[in-house]
């Protein structure tokens, strides 16, 4: 018989209500939405659906907590202790959280454990450790005046997050905000709300004062928009699509000019030149760069730009990798290709493949489709697919597919490669494979992207800033630069004359 989440986790560990002012509560009008497990197509539970009144309650709780000073004015050693305790709780509950994440998103349990949970623990711990290492400044003004420049919390921070790495992205937003003393209202994606609610429980257990961390679940159009438009939210941290990111700019302008930071989509180029130092390494990294998490990654290298002399050899080797991504029960630790976030999203991805073919591109290779044996919804899986004969003006090369689909183009020169890479509305990431340091340096200068990889794809570290340019957004997550999204610099003049 088909297993359910309750075979892995007691039902009382799956929270399903809003978390406001330290309490799990129903939405004021009691409304709920279905939380579906994409791998089975079946309902996991019903979750409270917040409307603007619930959002208002959560923002008020956050404001009251901020004004009380219980968290904002606490000693840095205290804030650090509570956040380190939270890191420890995320770590000791990592298996439960990984199970929740896998059921909620369809991603393989091995990835939930090794990537989402490992990254989540590190995210909380790193920012907790930073709390007592942030120094302020004294400006070099003339005597006897002293000008002090202090990093100051903004107040109430809202975070609206997507479904591809639900807990990890939520923590990326909220932990820096909490670290400097803000209060937070988090709205996770309605497609993956459960780990954020479990996090709220852990935050309370760690000792965050009531109202400092609130979680409102619900739709983007209702709960998300209500946060974007709320007159008492000081900053909104968003990760998601560019279309929604643009709405948040409008919400800000139409309300209180709240500070906005946006991590939006990408269509990142991965350039492999004829002098690539290690073709096998590049093939492996290219495959991982687009097929990991079923391609549902903002910085996936979804456009492969090959210099002509190595193109055929590279494609052949890449095709041999496709069947390494093994579809199956996401709870089976041998599975390496999970479902997409929904069968509806999988349909969209299939539509992109069909349209590319109609426009003259060709399916160069595709992994075997899965039949969903054992009661799974096979329509939620898309097999890894290589599409070549792509022209950079085609939709498959310009739009974010957010699936395991690689658009392959061939070029003759380095200039053509760089120009093709930059010919995109997006500017999140770009990669180049070359043995020539001069070419690498020129590419680093020319590629218009938030980060550039030379001879790797998707290298990353919590100590480096993460974010894009152009329609990939602005503001930086991770690293100490993340504090710029959630604080402001206050200058105070002391006149001793």
CB of 342 to ligand NAD, least distance (A): 10
CB of 300 to ligand NAD, least distance (A): 8
**Based on CB atoms, which residue is closest to ligand NAD, 66 or 402?**
402
Q: How far apart are CA 395 and CA 353, in angstroms?
A: 10
CB of 228 to ligand NAD, least distance (A): 5
Q: Euclidean distance between the first and final Cα of the chain, in Å?
A: 82
> Could you tell me what percentage of the chain is helix, strand and coil, using 3-state DSSP and rounding each to the nearest 5?
40, 20, 35
Strands (E), 188-339: 213-215, 235-239, 259-263, 269-272, 303-307
Q: How far apart are CA 128 and CA 120, in angstroms?
A: 12
Contact residues for ligand NAD, defined by CB under 6 A: 160-164, 187, 189-190, 220-221, 224-225, 228, 239-241, 244, 247, 263-266, 298, 400, 402, 428
Q: How far apart are CA 190 and CA 176, in angstroms?
A: 23
Cα-Cα-Cα-Cα dihedral sign, residues 20, 23, 25, 28? negative
Q: How far apart are CA 290 and CA 467, in angstroms?
A: 18
CB of 255 to ligand NAD, least distance (A): 13
* Beta pairing partners, 469: 427
* Beta pairing partners, 473: 263
CB of 457 closer than 8 Å to CB of 270:
yes
CB of 16 closer than 8 Å to CB of 197:
yes
Pairing of strands 23-25, 18-20: antiparallel
CB of 125 closer than 8 Å to CB of 462:
no
**Based on CB atoms, which residue is closest to ligand NAD, 243 or 489?**
243
**Based on CB atoms, which residue is closest to ligand NAD, 181 or 218?**
218
* Beta pairing partners, 230: none
**Based on CB atoms, which residue is closest to ligand NAD, 155 or 224?**
224
Q: How far apart are CA 62 and CA 45, in angstroms?
A: 27
**Based on CB atoms, which residue is closest to ligand NAD, 264 or 407?**
264
CB of 257 to ligand NAD, least distance (A): 17
Tokens of 8: 């892995």
CB of 172 to ligand NAD, least distance (A): 8
**Based on CB atoms, which residue is closest to ligand NAD, 248 or 376?**
248
Q: Give which of 121, 97, 120 is closest to 109, Cα–Cα.
A: 97
The three-class DSSP label of residue 176 is helix
Catalytic: which of 263, 264, 276, 410?
263
> Can 357 be counted among the known catalytic residues?
no
> Can 263 be counted among the known catalytic residues?
yes
Cα-Cα-Cα-Cα dihedral sign, residues 260, 263, 265, 271? positive
CB of 49 to ligand NAD, least distance (A): 11
**Based on CB atoms, which residue is closest to ligand NAD, 265 or 301?**
265
Strands (E), 314-428: 362-366, 385-388, 405-411, 426-427
CB of 425 to ligand NAD, least distance (A): 12
**Based on CB atoms, which residue is closest to ligand NAD, 196 or 337?**
196
Catalytic: which of 35, 101, 298, 410?
298
Give the catalytic positions in this structure: 263, 298
């Amino acid at each position: 018989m088909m297993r359910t989440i309750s075979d892995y986790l007691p039902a009382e560990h799956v929270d399903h209500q809003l978390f406001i002012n330290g309490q799990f509560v129903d939405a004021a009008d009691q409304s709920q939405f279905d939380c579906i497990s994409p791998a089975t197509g079946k309902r996991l539970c019903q979750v409270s659906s917040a409307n603007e009144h619930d959002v208002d309650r959560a923002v008020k709780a956050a404001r009251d907590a901020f004004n009380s000073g219980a968290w904002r004015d606490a000693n840095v050693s205290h804030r650090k202790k509570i956040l380190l305790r939270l890191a420890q709780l995320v770590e000791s509950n990592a298996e439960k959280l990984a199970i929740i994440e896998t059921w909620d998103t369809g991603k393989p349990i091995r990835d939930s454990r090794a990537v989402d949970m490992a990254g989540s623990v590190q995210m909380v711990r790193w920012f907790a450790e930073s709390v007592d290492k942030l120094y302020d400044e004294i400006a070099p003004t003339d005597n006897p005046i002293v000008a002090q420049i202090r990093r100051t919390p903004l107040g109430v921070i809202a975070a609206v997050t997507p479904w591809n790495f639900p807990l990890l992205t939520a923590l990326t937003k909220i932990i820096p905000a909490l670290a400097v003393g803000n209060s937070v209202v988090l709205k996770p994606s309605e497609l993956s709300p459960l780990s954020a609610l479990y996090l709220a429980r852990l935050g309370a257990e760690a000792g965050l004062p009531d109202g400092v961390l609130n979680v409102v679940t619900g739709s983007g159009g209702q709960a998300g928009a209500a946060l974007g438009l709320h007159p008492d939210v000081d900053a909104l941290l968003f990760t998601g699509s560019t279309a929604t990111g643009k709405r948040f700019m409008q919400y800000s302008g139409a309300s209180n000019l709240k500070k906005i930071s946006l991590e939006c989509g990408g269509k990142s180029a991965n350039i492999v030149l004829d002098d690539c130092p290690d073709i096998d390494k590049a093939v492996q990294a290219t495959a991982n760069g687009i097929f990991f998490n079923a391609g549902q990654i903002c910085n996936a290298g979804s456009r492969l730009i090959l210099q002509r002399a190595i193109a055929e050899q590279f494609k052949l080797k890449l095709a041999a990798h496709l069947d390494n991504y093994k579809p199956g029960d996401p709870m089976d630790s041998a599975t390496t290709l999970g479902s997409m976030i929904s069968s509806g999203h999988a349909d969209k991805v299939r539509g992109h493949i069909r349209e590319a073919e109609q426009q003259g591109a060709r399916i160069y290779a595709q992994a075997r489709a899965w039949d969903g044996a054992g009661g799974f919804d096979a329509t939620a899986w898309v097999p890894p697919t290589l599409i070549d004969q792509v022209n950079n003006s085609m939709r498959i090369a310009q739009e974010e597919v957010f699936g395991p689909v690689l658009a392959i183009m061939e070029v003759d020169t380095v200039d053509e490669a760089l120009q093709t890479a930059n010919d995109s509305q997006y500017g999140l990431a770009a990669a180049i494979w070359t043995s020539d340091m001069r070419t690498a340096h020129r590419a680093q200068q020319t590629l218009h992207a938030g980060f550039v990889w030379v001879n790797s794809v998707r290298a990353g570290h919590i100590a480096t800033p993460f974010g894009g340019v152009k329609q990939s957004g602005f503001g930086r997550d991770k690293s100490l630069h993340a504090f710029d999204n959630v604080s402001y610099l206050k200058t105070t003049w002391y006149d001793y004359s």
